Amino acid sequence: MTQPIRNVSVDAPIGIFDSGVGGLSVLRHVHAQLPHEHLIYFADSGYAPYGDREEEWVIQRSLAVAAFLFGQGVKALVVACNTATVAAIKAIRTEWPGVPIVGVEPGLKPGAAASRSGKVGVLATDRTLHSEKFLTLRDQISAATQAEFLLQPCIGLVDQIELGQLGSAGTMALLEQYVSPLLDRGADTLVLGCTHYPFVENAIRQVLARHASHDASAPVTLIDTGDAVARQLARLLEGAGLLRPAGVAHLRGYTSASAAVLAEAFRALLSLTPQVDAVDVA
């Protein structure tokens, strides 16, 4: 029989963080699958985006945010940011060994499994797509499945989503710029390789619908890995004896930028109204 991690209560919250509001796309899956768990979300919007930062900076910043959340007594941590996962999750696990820590994977394996043509478009930040970890994973899955991964850095897209511009003309222009070339090259599956991107899924589908070569009888598949992250978190909590079985759950938000902006993101994106506070995490 598994035992809880020493000195950690099943009633302790789960910490989730991202460089901004994108990790809310992961939080919604965690909230749906683990409705009895207390959650703390940290949006590091004062330092966003992470995608164009140097790797060592991302590591140090991620460790600082993780330290803040562990200081709040969390029993588990979700690194709900692709860039931070790639750069920093090893360092976070080294700093807090034995704690359930889940990162977000870029979705290459499910993308390859879903593709009929064998051509999979990957939308992500430039930092993620050029990381050694990502490229090694791409090569491994490509060799095993014969899938061809078409990599598309989406410069500026995170900024638009952080501003709440989910369907604006500027966002649509960026998506047209990034998605259309992938379709032209035969991609029938698009991996949303940044946790921000599920929030523009409807806008992406508008681009797909307008694309001249798009075949309505064979729709393009979009891969969002938030559900898999929540399932992995549940497995780790169960294995550690840390699942909270019942009771009313509480949600709390923190941000390194504007509390009002994060509160509005919770309301607009998830229809939730938690208490949100701005904090200085150095």
Which residues are paired to 102 by β-bridges?
78
Active site includes 154?
no
Q: Please count the residues of the chain.
A: 282
Report yes or no: 7 and 73 within 8 Å, Cβ to Cβ: no
Q: How far apart are CA 77 and CA 66, in angstroms?
A: 8
Is 50 annotated to bind a ligand? Reply is: yes
Report yes or no: 119 and 185 within 8 Å, Cβ to Cβ: yes
Is 195 annotated to bind a ligand? Reply is: yes
Is 18 annotated to bind a ligand? Reply is: yes
Choosing from 194, 203, 229, 263, the catalytic residue is 194
State both tokens at 137: 């994973």
Is the preceding omega at residue 49 within 30 degrees of 0, hence cis?
yes
Is 51 annotated to bind a ligand? Reply is: yes
Q: Cβ-count burial of 16 within 10 angstroms (0-12 exposed, 13-18 middle, 19+ buried)?
A: buried
Report yes or no: 129 and 157 within 8 Å, Cβ to Cβ: no
In degrees, rounded to 5, the angle at the alpha carbon of residue 43 between the alpha carbons of residues 37 and 48 is 155
Which residues are paired to 191 by β-bridges?
122, 223
Is 2 annotated to bind a ligand? Reply is: no
Query: Coil, strand, or helix at residue 222?
Result: strand
Active site includes 194?
yes
Angular region, 186: left φ>0, alpha ψ -120 to 50, beta rest: left
Is 83 annotated to bind a ligand? Reply is: yes
Is 128 annotated to bind a ligand? Reply is: no
Choosing from 43, 81, 237, 269, the catalytic residue is 81
Show which residues are catalytic.
81, 194
Task: Please enumerate, by residue number, every residue annotated as part of a binding site for substrate.
Answer: 18-19, 50-51, 82-83, 195-196
The annotated binding site is made up of 18-19, 50-51, 82-83, 195-196
